[in-house]
Structures are given as C-alpha cells and as structure tokens.
Structure 1
Amino acid sequence: MDDSALKALEAQSASTPASAKTLYAVSNTVLGDLATVYPATQMHVLKSTETSRLVEIRGSQMQGSEQVIYYAAGQRLILASLSEKGQQSLNIFSDWKKDDYGNAWRDVALQGEWSGSALASREPMWDYARKLDNVYCAGCHAPIPAKHFTLNAWPSVAKGMGARTNISENELDILSRYFQYNAKDMHE
C-alpha cells in the first residue's frame, strides 16, 4: 500500500481545530521531555494557546514497568512511554492493587505541553486501519472481526500475521491498535 492514505491522515491531523477538547496522536510523538505518546492515545485538552495545548493522558501503571502508561489495569495497550522526568511528573490516583495474576496496578495521569498535530476523533485513523486490514490481511484470509480476540491477544496475532506481509512497522502498529481498541474485552 502506498503512503498516500497515511499522508492524508497526517494532513487531516494538522488541520484539527484549536477548540478540540480531545486529541488522538497519529504517530509516535513526543510530549515535551516527559514521554512518547503512541497512535490513537486519547489526550484531554486542559488548556490551549496559539502554539500548544496542555493535555492529560490517563491510564494505569504496572509495578515493575513504571516507565509505561497502559490503557487500564490488566490491559496492555501502551498509551505512552515515560522518561525519568515523566515518571516523576505523574499524578497518582490510587495505591497499588493486585490483579488476578498478582500484578500490581495503579491509576495515573500525565500532563504536558502538546505542540504536535493530532486528530479530534479516532474514526479517521480507524478508516485507515480498515484499509490496511483489507490490503494486508484480506489477501490471505477472510476478515477477522476485532471482537474475535482480546485486547491483550491482538498484538501477538497481528505481529505473527504481519510478518508474512510487507506491512511497515508504523502501519502494523496502527492496525494492532485498531484491533485492540475494538477488541471483545474493550470497554471505553
């Protein structure tokens, strides 16, 4: 697949209105010196200026992996990777709580200045992901509904199948995130 669909998505993200209250990263993008934010991560806009926005990312942290913000406890959808400064800047909302597997999780949020482009909705990214699914996946098998697997299962499934195609790493990441955000155990 050529990169025209991705370029159109990036162009759309560059024209997101300054009044948008929620943003979604299109590609791996730095949040100042605090973190790298991954595609489709939801950022709540707290304040806007002409050149940047103060955003907040909410998620969960797993004990032993404090450099990562996950979507929720037990759901290993990575929203952001934190620098040392990012780890120290977190707002912590709960104590560590163990899940059924013995992993301890806590609810956190990170605030930072966002100056990159982003979408006001995930839907354009999901349209792109469905095109990727059609181009790279449907050539070998019938479409597999996103709800067929769990959020935690999808990355391995997508990576295993993606290895048999010429899908780029960025395209595979977006496709995997589409499947994860629409998985059978996802509750937004």
Structure 2
Amino acid sequence: MGPNTNYKNFMGVSTFMKKLLQKLNKPSAKYSILALVLIGAVITVAGVVVMNKSLDYFSQTEFCVSCHTMQQNYEEYKQSIHYSNAKGIRAECVDCHQPKDFVGKIWRKMGAYKDVYHHFVTGKIDTPEKFEEHRLELAQKVWDRMADENYKTCTTCHSYEAMDHDKQSVQAMKEMIPAAKENMACIECHKGIAHELPNMAGGFRKTFETLTASATAPAGAKKLFSIEEKSLFATADANGKVEGQLLPASEVEVVGEEGDMLKVRVQGWIETNGKGRVMTEYMGKRVFKATVRGDVKATETVISEEVDPATNIAWKQVAVNAYITKDHLVESIDPIWDYASEMYASSCNSCHAAPAPGHFTANGWISSLKAMSAYYRLSKTEERTLLKYLQNHGSDTGGAGAH
C-alpha cells in the first residue's frame, strides 16, 4: 500500500466526519435543532405518561382478576385480612405481587407472560381443577421470587421498627419479638395469609415416588441405605419368619448375595443391661436403626463396650447378620436426606418458621416433633424418616455438615 492510497483513505474519513458534523449541527433543512429537541422531548414525555398509565391500568386488581383462572384466588383473597380489616386498609394484588420500584415493576410485568402463556396457549392452568393440581408449584415460584427480591413487597407496608408489641396479642407478641430479633421474613410464618395453602405433601411425596422407582440395590454395591422399613430375615427366604426390622435411612454393609436376597451386616449400639433388641445409630442417643430378635439376634457380635458419661449407662457396639430384599435401597444417603428436608420444609414450614435441624439435640427432636404431630399428616414411615433426618442433623450429631 503506497502513500497515495493512505492519503486517499485519510481524505475519505475526513470528508465523512465533516458531513456528520454538518448533519449534527443542522439535522434538518426545514426544522431548527431547538424544534427537533422540543419534538423529541414531547415524544419522550408522552411515552413516559402512556407507559405509566398503562402500568397503572395493568396493575389494577380488576385487571388481575379479569382472567377466570384468577377467580378462585380472588375469592380466597376477599376472605383474608388483607382485603377487609378493622383499619380499612386494603392490600391490592400488586401490593404483594409487584415491587414498587420502576425496574422491579417492569421486570415483574415481563415475567407475567408465563401466566398468560400457560392460560391461553398450553392450557396448563385454564380450569380450577388444573390450577389446583399445580397450586403448589405456582405458590413455590411466588415464594422463591419474594425471597429473591428480599421480600420488599412485604416490607413496603410492614416493618419491625414500626411495630408496637404492647398493642399485639400475647401470642402475637410471643412470636413477633424473636422474629424481629432474627429479622425473619413475613412469609416464613404467614404463607397462607391471602390465599389457601396448597397441598404441601404433594411435592415431597412425588419426590419419594421418584426415589422409590430407582431404589434397587445395584450389583456389587458394598454399602446401602434403606428408604423405608425393611424386614430382616435369618435366611435367604423373603417368605420366611421375620426376625427384625430395619428402619428408614439406615445403613447396611453388603456381605453376600443369594438369589433375590442380600446378606447384610447391620451395626449399631444397644444397652448392655436391656433386652438388646433395639439398635441405635449412636451410643446414648435414641436414633433408632433396627430391631432384632430370634435367629438374627443370635448372630450378634460385640465390637466394643462403653459407658455413656452423660447417663452412666453401659452400651455395647454390636453387629448382626441378616438377609433383606433388594428393593427400596440406595447407595447414598443424600437423596434420602434431600427428600426428608423437602418433607420438613413442606410439613413444618407451612404454618410457622421451623427451626433449623441443629436447633435441638437428637433426643430433643423426639419430643419436639411429637408435640407438632397434631398439626401435620404424615404416615408412620414418613414420620420416622423425618425424625431420623432431624436427629442425624441435630446439635449433638454434627449438624448438616457431618451428614
């Protein structure tokens, strides 16, 4: 490339820049710059006004409930304290579901397309029956979104600083004072304040169905965990006499295989001076692992003996051999704990903020869970799995990080 070429390129760029400056200085032969600026300003202001008016219209409760899918939710809302109360203060739909700041408001409006899409296109929620079927899923999305927004739709109206606890009922004061100290979110205790709570069991029971479908002992596995109660046999015969029971979330060591049965070694602790039929996970803690009797009990071998310094009770660490079927077993405890954690959140967080598993000791969780049994509906197996999860993540069993 020669010097003439470089010069031509330079002159071409220079000419373009001159034309651009001329266009900017006098963009129109007909209108002055001031006139164009004023026109632009008018268009901008008109656009802002139209947008605000549009947002106001689309944020009215009447618009929100114009879709028949929302009629059931609207009737529930009309029965709530947010709709009618002694102070005459009403929280409209957008007060709870739409942030007040401009960015949050626009973001929420953009996200609402999913509701419209599932109503008019997929038909996922276009009838009351379908809506009820997906209520838990929809509610969870709202709760998650509120958490992501740091619950700012709640705190716009409610703040701990503005509360006068002396004017609250005794029960409300008892709950609100510690909640204020921990700066808890409103919906940790008030999820059902404006709408009916979904069937909270639906989620974790579906999780259990999925877990059960794949819970078959893989060939060659050396360590397995039960996802529910399993019968213990002294021989490789599933139709034989039951000589004990393995409880949910309990570990076994695989030592052999005979046909459709696994020969396993079950290890745990029993009280030295007791009948020795109840095996626990830990010495001195009522975290039950299995019950053994008869010919299974007869295979017992002692691994070690210790005295619990807290109670001065003598314990033996023992192991027994037994046979179990290959179903309802997984190689890792993690999916069982995930299922149990979901059950805990669904069953115990639906009415109030449930304490963290590490809040109580393993033995303390027995009475704590029993005290709440009137408020949840779990099967005996579900309750045993939940208790085992809480106990294994208790304050004296290492907490969540140890399991």
* TM-score, scaled relative to structure 1: 0.89
- Of Structure 1 and Structure 2, the greater helix share is in 2
Q: CA deviation at 1:119?
A: 1.0
Distance 2:245 2:366 in 1: 19
1:116 aligns with 2:317: no
Distance 1:90 1:34 in 2: 13
Q: Show the counterpart of 1:53.
A: 262
For CA contacts below 8 A with separation 6 or more, give which structure has more relative contact order: 1
Moved more, 142-151 or 90-99: 90-99
Q: CA deviation at 1:49?
A: 4.7
Alignment CA distance shift 1:37-1:64 (3 Å): same
The answer on whether the counterparts of 1:92 and 1:109 sit within 8 Å (CA) in structure 2 is yes
Q: CA deviation at 1:168?
A: 2.2
Q: Show the counterpart of 1:139.
A: 350
Q: Show the counterpart of 2:149.
A: none
Q: Show the counterpart of 1:35.
A: 244
Q: Show the counterpart of 1:23.
A: 224
The answer on whether the counterparts of 1:149 and 1:184 sit within 8 Å (CA) in structure 2 is yes
Q: Show the counterpart of 1:97.
A: 307
- Of Structure 1 and Structure 2, the greater strand share is in 1
Distance 1:147 1:100 in 2: 20
Q: CA deviation at 1:183?
A: 1.2
1:182 aligns with 2:393: yes
Q: Which amino acid aligns with 1:146?
A: P
The answer on whether the counterparts of 1:91 and 1:108 sit within 8 Å (CA) in structure 2 is yes
Alignment CA distance shift 1:96-1:144 (3 Å): closer
1:80 aligns with 2:293: no
1:106 aligns with 2:316: yes
Q: CA deviation at 1:29?
A: 0.7
SS at 1:108 equivalent: strand
Alignment CA distance shift 1:114-1:156 (3 Å): same
Alignment of 1:54-73 (within 5 A): 54-62=263-271, 63-73=273-283
The answer on whether the counterparts of 2:262 and 2:326 sit within 8 Å (CA) in structure 1 is no
Distance 1:150 1:83 in 2: 29
Q: Which amino acid aligns with 1:20?
A: A
Alignment CA distance shift 1:173-1:95 (3 Å): closer
CA RMSD of aligned residues (A): 1.9
The answer on whether the counterparts of 2:267 and 2:320 sit within 8 Å (CA) in structure 1 is yes
SS at 1:89 equivalent: coil
Q: CA deviation at 1:51?
A: 2.2
> 5+ residue gaps in structure 1?
none
Asked which structure has the greater CA Rg, the reply is 2
What is the percent sequence identity of the aligned residues? 26
The answer on whether the counterparts of 1:159 and 1:172 sit within 8 Å (CA) in structure 2 is no
Q: Which amino acid aligns with 2:299?
A: S
Number of paired residues? 187
Q: CA deviation at 1:7?
A: 1.9
SS at 1:128 equivalent: helix
The answer on whether the counterparts of 2:260 and 2:326 sit within 8 Å (CA) in structure 1 is no
> 5+ residue gaps in structure 2?
1-200, 234-241
Alignment CA distance shift 1:151-1:65 (3 Å): farther
Alignment of 1:159-170 (within 5 A): 159-170=370-381
